[in-house]
Amino acid sequence: MFMEYDPATYSRILTGVTLGFHIIFATLGVGVPLMIALAEWTGMRKNDPHYTLLARRWARGFVVTVAVGVVTGTAIGLQLSLLWPNFMQVAGQTIALPLFLEVFAFFFEAIFLGIYLYTWDRFKSKLKHFLLIIPVIIGASFSAFFITSLNAFMNAPQGFELVDGVIQNIRPLEAMFNPATPTKTAHVIITCYLTAAFVLAMIAAYKLLKGDRNVYHKKALHLTMVSAFIFAIATALIGDFSGKYLAEYQPEKLAAGEWHFETETEAPLVLGGVLNEEGEVEYALEIPYALSILSYGYPGAEVTGLDQFAPEDTPPLIVHYFFDGMIAIGMYLMFISFLYVAFRKFKPAWQYNRWLLWGIVAGGPLSLLAIEFGWMFAEIGRQPWILYGIMRTPEGATTADHVDSMLYMFIGLYTVLGVSASLVLRKMFRNNPVAHELERRGMDKGE
């Protein structure tokens, strides 16, 4: 027996389910093209066919994720109009530019992806084929940029005037390049690269653990883990800028994420813990001065607490766990990738240690989980606003009936899509294993 909610609540749940499912494929859709390009470039530079084969096989799997991402991305576009008509009535004209540019960027990516896939071995110059993947990277990354700038606008709305509920004096570029855009878009794009690197590294590490020790998987592991280490460092740096943005522009979101209840200087960073009946934090790890440093760059800074805001204007305190989970996984990914790089440099015999390989395997699903945590923190942490400081979430939602029926229908659709994509990818690579392809191409497996 399903619980009964109002249309606004069902709209929030359906949008959350759609975003949660779509973001997996969208993340891989942004990150994998860069990894394909790195593999093909390395193969061309070193005249190493193993890296070229990596690019070929990754590109085949990439097409499946793109297909599912297109379907779920279309669903999000439809749901914006169907589930959030009042929001679109107020903000739709202002955010039309990034929505249009996102579609254009996707078309740009799709056209060159088709040409790239069907022109292997058709150019005498390998460089010409490699150049075709560059527009795919640009299209995928700019697609992420434009759609994330829309989310940034929801957190820092500007570029219009609202007079008696009527939107006037629209300035699309100002709306798109709002104060939240730099940190939010940079964080989303770099985490897409990091996640794609770890998902591909997970596959290589798992194959090595299962005894398939040919040089192809070793080279795949090396390329992905070195890339992951670089992306993990960049993620941490951009995450620091994101924390400083929140401290200045959305202090209640940062305070809720850190369970920072009282405004104070030398504020500690609270990790984990639970709230007792009196609303006090128990069983948490506190890092002295860390929240002040994260917020303003020095330990004596005063950090605004939740005591400065009305309870109805603060996010749910559950966002603390999403925030902590995202940061903890990010640190784990940096640590594992650092271990691999350090072992390869100073202890080559340890780079294929079983514990390290299992750690890399765990990094694949954990990186996807961090993406989910990040978006949950971003969206739930903005509540109760759909348009920060201007429109509350229930005000932007539809009042129509049967949103619950749509929810169940889309859950069924996403289940079918998820299972189908998994089966197709599994069958695609199981029926054409690396060993057979290496043999067919006359390449040495290596041990």
Q: Which tens digits make up the pLDDT trace of 286-322?
A: 888 888 888 888 888 888 888 888 888 888 889 989 9
pLDDT at 63: 85
pLDDT at 109: 86
3-state secondary structure of 286: strand
| Cα dist from 292 to 265, 334, 373, whole Å | 7, 23, 23
Whole-prediction pTM: 0.90
pLDDT at 214: 76
pLDDT at 36: 92
Average pLDDT over all residues of the chain: 85
Confidence of residue 447 (pLDDT cuts 50, 70, 90): very low
> 64 CB contacts (<8 Å, ≥6 apart)?
421, 424, 425, 428
**pLDDT average, residue stretch 134-154:** 90
List pLDDT tens digits, range 388-401. Answer: 888 888 888 888 77
Q: Which two tokens stand for residue 368?
A: 């996807």
List pLDDT tens digits, range 235-253. Answer: 999 988 888 888 888 889 9
Most confident range (mean pLDDT) of 46-60, 173-187, 336-350, 388-402 is 173-187
Confidence of residue 1 (pLDDT cuts 50, 70, 90): very low
From 39-43, 56-60, 397-401, the region with the lowest mean pLDDT: 397-401
Confidence of residue 444 (pLDDT cuts 50, 70, 90): low
74, pLDDT greater than 60: yes
**pLDDT average, residue stretch 138-166:** 86
C-alpha–C-alpha distance, residues 249 and 243, integer Å: 10
| Cα dist from 114 to 126, 254, 432, whole Å | 17, 43, 21
C-alpha–C-alpha distance, residues 270 and 266, integer Å: 13
pLDDT at 291: 85
CA within 13 Å, CB half, 345: 8
> 402 CB contacts (<8 Å, ≥6 apart)?
none
List pLDDT tens digits, range 322-356. Answer: 988 999 999 999 999 999 999 888 887 777 888 98
Better pLDDT: 219 or 214: 219
From 8-22, 28-42, 429-443, the region with the lowest mean pLDDT: 429-443
C-alpha–C-alpha distance, residues 329 and 346, integer Å: 25
- Helix, strand, coil distribution of the chain in percent, nearest 5: 70, 5, 20
- ∠242-244-249 over CA atoms, to 5°? 95
pLDDT at 359: 92
List pLDDT tens digits, range 93-106. Answer: 888 888 888 888 88
442, pLDDT greater than 60: no
Domain boundaries of the chain, sorted by first residue? 7-242+318-440
pLDDT at 215: 82
C-alpha–C-alpha distance, residues 261 and 342, integer Å: 41
